[in-house]
Amino acid sequence: MKNSRDFLKERPLPHLASPLLSGIGVVHGFMTRKGGVSPSPFDSLNLGTNTEDKEENVIKNKELYERSFSFKSGTLKTLTQVHGNKVAVAGDDTDTEADAIITDQHDLPIGVLTADCVPILLCNEDKKAVGAVHAGWRGMVGGIIENTIEALKERYGAKADELTALIGPAIGPCCYEVSEDVAEQFREKLHNVIRVQDDNIFLDLPSGAFSILSKAGVRAEKIWSSGHCTSCETDLFFSYRKENGKTGRQLSFIMIKE
Ligand SMILES: [Zn+2]
């Protein structure tokens, strides 16, 4: 697994990008919270509509984002995320409640919105298809990552060992304290993602994502993790937990260009 905290690009709007997907005709990015118009506590590039931020701010932020990457206005496809395990196909399924989105269409940016949960971007290089996954603890236990890989296989002929997977900024094991009930559900699914310190239990969601991707057949050298903790770095990222639920949502997106 490649892990680096050094891939923050300031242009066109501040975002993280992985070298694993450079030069292959795919545009992607993990947006930070910077560069938008929303006031505190949604400052400033809030792209989540299910927050208390004004809708006009979110619309303006979306315009800023699309324009900055030279995308056609209104092309970004996102979801109504429900912490479930359903995968939507961009273009076919409209207004769907789902937590992952896939496509093989060109010039169609797809994305997920997060503020602590793990955003995962997937790309099948051979038969070109891409996916974006929103994976919190419920989604991970429920199989959202495996379901997305299966959907890419079935629909587009992708193969797990040809996939590149990028794990974006999420709440890290340093900060993500969970209940015994949540920990137990993870222990049943994965090993080595729970850390107990004194009487407190901490869950490592990015490592959980890595393990699930590996088990599903994605090669370790094709998995990249940003290494950023949203809760530790609220100057750069929205964190639902750290900011007591009053915060925005950052976008992670991917698009086939050629
Ligand atoms: Zn942290």
Q: What is the pLDDT of residue 125?
A: 87
Q: Let me know if 169 is exposed, middle or buried by CB neighbors in 10 A (0-12, 13-18, 19+).
A: buried
- The strand order across the sheet containing 100-103 reads 2-3, 223-225, 163-167, 118-124, 129-135, 100-103, 87-89
Centroid of ligand 1 to alpha carbon of 228 (angstroms): 8
CA atoms of 207 and 232, how far apart (whole Å) = 17
Question: Helices 205-215 and 144-156, interaxial angle, to 10°?
Answer: 40
Q: What is the pLDDT of residue 6?
A: 64
Centroid of ligand 1 to alpha carbon of 189 (angstroms): 23
Centroid of ligand 1 to alpha carbon of 174 (angstroms): 4
Centroid of ligand 1 to alpha carbon of 110 (angstroms): 27
**Residue-range definition of the domain harbouring residue 239:** 2-256
**Alpha helices (runs of H) in 160-204, residue ranges in sequence order:** 180-189
Phi, psi dihedral angles at 202 (to 5 degrees): -120, 140
Which has the closest alpha carbon to 171: 228, 210, 126? 228
Place of tokens 């991917």: 254
**DSSP single-letter state for residue 72:** P
Centroid of ligand 1 to alpha carbon of 191 (angstroms): 21
Query: Residues within 5 Å of ion ligand 1 by Cβ?
Result: 172, 174-175, 229, 231-232
Q: Let me know if 85 is exposed, middle or buried by CB neighbors in 10 A (0-12, 13-18, 19+).
A: buried
CA atoms of 151 and 193, how far apart (whole Å) = 26
Beta bridge partners of 27: 255
CATH number of the domain bearing residue 164: 3.60.140.10
Centroid of ligand 1 to alpha carbon of 229 (angstroms): 5
Q: Let me know if 177 is exposed, middle or buried by CB neighbors in 10 A (0-12, 13-18, 19+).
A: middle
Beta bridge partners of 103: 130
Overall number of domains in the chain: 1
Centroid of ligand 1 to alpha carbon of 175 (angstroms): 4
Centroid of ligand 1 to alpha carbon of 63 (angstroms): 31
Q: How confident is the prediction along the chain (258 residues), in pLDDT tens digits per residue?
A: 555 556 889 889 999 999 999 989 999 999 999 999 999 999 999 999 889 999 999 999 999 999 999 999 999 999 999 999 999 999 887 667 999 999 999 999 999 999 999 999 999 988 899 999 999 999 999 999 999 999 999 999 999 999 999 999 999 999 999 999 999 999 999 988 999 999 999 999 999 999 999 999 999 999 999 999 999 999 999 999 999 999 999 999 999 997
Q: What is the pLDDT of residue 8?
A: 87
Asked if 42 and 248 touch (Cβ cutoff 8 Å), the reply is yes
